[in-house]
Amino acid sequence: MASDRSGAAVEPAVAGEAPATVARVRPSPWPEVPRPVRVARIVIGVVLAVAALYAPLYFEPDVNRLLSQAIYIAIAAMGLNLLTGFNGQVSIGHGAFFGVGAFTSAILIVDHGWTFEATIPVSAALTGVLGLLVGIPALRVRGLYLALVTLGLAVLFPRITQKYVDGTGGVPLLRPSRREFASLIEGLDDDQWAYYLCLAIMALLFVLAWNLVRGRVGRAMIAVRDQELAATTVGVNLAATKVGTFAVSAAYAGVAGSLSVMVDKLADGTNPILYFQRSIEFLVAMVIGGTATILGPAVGALVLVLLRHNTQDLIEGKEILAPALFGAALIVIVFVLPEGLVGGVRRLLLRLGQRTSARGRAPTAP
């Protein structure tokens, strides 16, 4: 085996043949997507982006608030998707990280006079560290046992707030002044500013998650999810991947909790099942949209918020029915679309792309 001037490997010359250069091409971990599918994805992405940017200018403040709620739920579900969908660790306790982010922003605004925008990175950092601390002992358990451990976080968090948070009237309920969330852009109403701020942060975290799962870290996460033993044999640091993903996932939930203070104008610790319900919502949004997809949690969160809004009369005064309703929706989606809405659309586009490619390769009559 010789090499040419460029350093590429060259096969030995055979009589009557020219030397062939052997190109070493690194295989991609992602399957090749047909061109029609790529075009369809681009068109769908452009349409969704235009609709998302125009929505707050068209709808009333109440609808904009619902859309903003869908965005912060999508952010938390996106973080849970990194942990569960891509890394294979089941968590039902992300409502606790969501609550930590919410109370961090509310306490900094009410007690220390911070501006809301400055509290968002603090909430992300604090919940990321908390997720790191929870992720280390979580290395010893997995599957249903990990789900039970994280469930304890969601159930325990309201008790902690009742003990250590002293709001107005002695209850763990903080209501920052509405002027703390006033629009910073002239010409935009407060509800429009809240929507666009949530949308911008979601887009930033979307790009971060996209780059994360498409790179080396994402391949390590998927390897750990699919086969831990095989992942360790090829050099994947099992503990670092699991703990790091847990921290990033918790930081996403913390940012979502911080944004909820701006949208809902409060941080509430009076309801003992609120953060358990939040955890269920994140899980349902992830599954409805499609696990192990980047856009799926956003689609699932939008469907979830619209479903909750349209059935508000059914669960008013009966909060215990809300998890049952979301669980029923989850069961229906799992049976009808096991891969979620985005997964179903992606499979449909791939089938159409394959049919188009097959027709293009069909032999023609002489």
Average pLDDT over residues 91-119: 95
Whole-angstrom CA distances from 263 to 104, 190, 279 are 15, 10, 18
Output the pLDDT for position 321.
64
pLDDT digits (tens, 9 = 90+) for 73-91: 999 999 999 999 999 999 9
Please state whether 364 falls in left (phi above 0), alpha (psi between -120 and 50) or beta.
beta
Whether residue 28 has pLDDT greater than 70: no
Output the pLDDT for position 253.
97
Say how many Å lie between the first and final Cα of the chain, rounded.
45
Average pLDDT over residues 213-226: 92
Got the DSSP string for 201-220? Answer: HHHHHHHHHHHHHHSHHHHH
Among 265, 41, 302, 245, CA closest to 174:
265
Whether residue 33 has pLDDT greater than 80: no
Output the pLDDT for position 344.
83
Whether residue 349 has pLDDT greater than 90: no
Is residue 126 within 8 Å of 115, Cβ to Cβ?
no
Average pLDDT over residues 89-108: 95
Higher-confidence residue: 253 or 311? 253
pLDDT digits (tens, 9 = 90+) for 301-318: 999 898 777 766 555 555
Question: At residue 22, what are phi and psi to the nearest 5 degrees?
Answer: -95, 115
Average pLDDT over residues 27-41: 65
Higher-confidence residue: 10 or 317? 317
Retrieve residue 288's tokens: 């409805």
What is the per-residue burial (b if ≥16 Cβ within 10 Å, else e) of 217-252? Answer: bbbbbbbbbeebeebeeeebeeeebbbbbbbbbbbb
Across the chain, mean pLDDT equals: 84
Whether residue 116 has pLDDT greater than 90: yes
Higher-confidence residue: 317 or 71? 71
Output the pLDDT for position 24.
45
Which stretch, 243-247, 266-270, 281-285, 341-345, has highest mean pLDDT?
A: 243-247
Output the pLDDT for position 337.
82
**pLDDT classification of 356: cutoffs 50, 70, 90:** low
Query: What's the predicted TM-score (pTM) here?
Result: 0.86
Among 70, 30, 24, 350, CA closest to 214:
30
Higher-confidence residue: 149 or 208? 208
Higher-confidence residue: 314 or 93? 93
Average pLDDT over residues 103-114: 94
Residue with tokens 């891509």: 86
Output the pLDDT for position 333.
73
Whether residue 319 has pLDDT greater than 90: no
Output the pLDDT for position 13.
46
Is residue 76 within 8 Å of 277, Cβ to Cβ?
no
Whether residue 191 has pLDDT greater than 90: yes
Whether residue 12 has pLDDT greater than 80: no
**pLDDT classification of 171: cutoffs 50, 70, 90:** confident
Q: Which has the minimum average pLDDT: 215-219, 248-252, 359-363? A: 359-363
Output the pLDDT for position 318.
56
Among 174, 172, 175, 192, CA closest to 183:
192
Give the three-state DSSP class for 22.
Answer: strand
Average pLDDT over residues 80-109: 95
